[in-house]
Structures are given as C-alpha cells and as structure tokens.
Amino acid sequence: MSETPRVLVVTPTYNERDNLPVLVRRVMALGPSYQMLVVDDASPDGTGAVADTLAAEFPGRVHVLHRTGKRGLGRSYVDALSKAVTMDVDAVCQMDADFSHDPAYLPDLVRGLFEGGHDVVIGSRYLHGVSVVNWPLRRLILSTFSNRYVRAITGLPSRDCTSGYRCWRREALARLPLRQFVSDGYAFLVEMLYQAMGAGCRIGEVPIIFVERREGQSKMSRGVILEGVIVPWRLVLRHPGWRGRRA
C-alpha cells in the first residue's frame, strides 16, 4: 500500500440532485487520495446528469455508474462494489448521499481500518449510547430494535449492524461473493457483514453522529422492513457455522 491510502467512496443515489454536488465537493476537499463512485438508479429528478457534470469537473476522481432496470440499494451496491474492487485503491467506503453520513468521518474510518488492523470499519451510531440527531422516536425504536434483533440471530459482534457508513480494505471486500447475495434492499448491509464474518474478516467500529436527512425523501418502505425481518434467519440457516464467528 502507498503511504497515504487511496480511498474510493461509493455512494448510491436515488433522487439526490440537491445533495450530491455539495457532498462530492466535500469529499474532494479531503484531498487527492479520495475518489468517488456514484451509482445512480435512473433517478427521475435527474441526479444522474448532475453526477455526470461532477465527473467532468473532477476527471479521474469522480466516476458514475448509471443503472437501468429494477432499482434497489442492494442491487446498486452489488454493481458498484463489483467495479470498486477492480479499481486501483486501498480502501472502499460506503456512504449515503443525504448527509446523514458526514464525510468528515471518512478519515476516521480509514484510520480505523489501517491503524486499527481491521478489514472493515463501521461508522457506528450506537457505540457510546445513541448518537442520532433529529429522528422521530418510532424511527429510533425501529433502528434500536432491528440492531438487537440482527445481533441476537446472527451473532454479529458490532453495535451497529445496519449502518450504511462503512469502510473496507479492498482485498477483504473482494473476498465477498456479492453476486450471490440474497437481499435487494437494506438487509443487504446485514448480509455483507454476515459474509464478512464468515470470511474471517476483522470487524471494527468508530463512533459517528448520524443526522437525519434534510433534503429529499426517505425510501423506507414496508417491503424493506419485512426483508429485514427475514434475511437474518435466511443467512443463519444457509451458513449456520458462521454464526458468531470471530476473526
């Protein structure tokens, strides 16, 4: 690895036209070792075209993947991360476009990875109590409950198994069989960690303060929640030997 780790930040977008330009500039300002890969699901609000303009503004540093067909966070990540592992970088981060994940934490995640000796580091909302800003009580209860549920079933060690803010060593990410994953929606994030645990990855966490989105709409739906209930069981039934495995 080079002295300064080269970091690729993968950001899925669906109707994030207003957030994306601000976000990309914040990541670019972290320095030349940072690149971005935006994966857009043919957003009706034209986020894809905004992403193309940003790619032209930061040639070689901002990349765009335009998806067509059935949309989904999990599907987008499969396509984007499969491309990410072939790129010439040391670390691959996953980060939302709505500023719930402050890009200022990216260097902490990267340090946790290489200085902390981990294969994946999670930006965690639940490391020291609860660090979530502007969530209604029912959202907080849903998230707290789903984390306890996931941990109890899968034996995952992390306090925050459903956080979408993460950083991976590229080689560790390349070991996950992304194309064989069963989940389409947010449960994809849990599946990634279960697969990482099965692959013997060292899983770390650093604290973040999560702030509810200011612009745009939430994509949380009943189908997504139902998938979140079923997927942990599917994972454990499929690979019972991985349950609670420690690196």
Ligand X SMILES: Nc1nc2c(ncn2[C@@H]2O[C@H](COP(=O)(O)OP(=O)(O)OP(=O)(O)O)[C@@H](O)[C@H]2O)c(=O)[nH]1
Residue 100 in the binding site for Mg ion (CB under 5 A) = yes
Judged by CB, which is closer to Mg ion: 90, or 98?
98
Beta-ladder partners of 37: 10, 63
Alpha-carbon separation of residue 204 from 23, 43, 55, 118 (angstroms): 25, 33, 32, 6
> Interface residues for ligand X in 165-224 (CB under 6 A)?
213, 218-220
Partner from ligand X, Mg ion, none contacting 85, C-beta within 5 to 8 A by type: none
Residue 30 Cβ vs ligand X, minimum distance, rounded to whole Å: 18
> Interface residues for ligand X in 1-60 (CB under 6 A)?
12-14, 16, 39-41
Joined tokens for residue 38: 């935006």
Alpha-carbon separation of residue 229 from 183, 189, 222 (angstroms): 11, 13, 11
Residue 110 Cβ vs ligand X, minimum distance, rounded to whole Å: 20
Residue 16 in the binding site for Mg ion (CB under 5 A) = no
Residue 28 Cβ vs ligand X, minimum distance, rounded to whole Å: 17
Alpha-carbon separation of residue 52 from 8, 22, 129, 156, 226 (angstroms): 17, 14, 40, 38, 35
Each residue 189-218 as x (binds Mg ion by CB under 5 A) or -, in order, gives ------------------------x-----
For ligand X, the binding residue among 71, 175, 234, 243 (CB under 6 A) is: 71
Residue 98 in the binding site for ligand X (CB under 6 A) = yes
Q: Which of 90, 75, 92, 78 is closest to 37 using CA atoms?
A: 92
Q: Is the dihedral of CA 108, 109, 113, 114 positive or negative?
A: negative
The structure tokens 């950001």 sit at 11
What are the E-state strand segments in 30-153? Answer: 34-40, 62-66, 91-94, 120-124, 132-133
Residue 73 Cβ vs ligand X, minimum distance, rounded to whole Å: 4
Contact footprint for ligand X (CB under 6 A): 12-14, 16, 39-41, 71-73, 76, 96-98, 100, 213, 218-220
Please report, as ranges, the residues that interact with Mg ion according to CB under 5 A. Answer: 96, 98, 100, 213
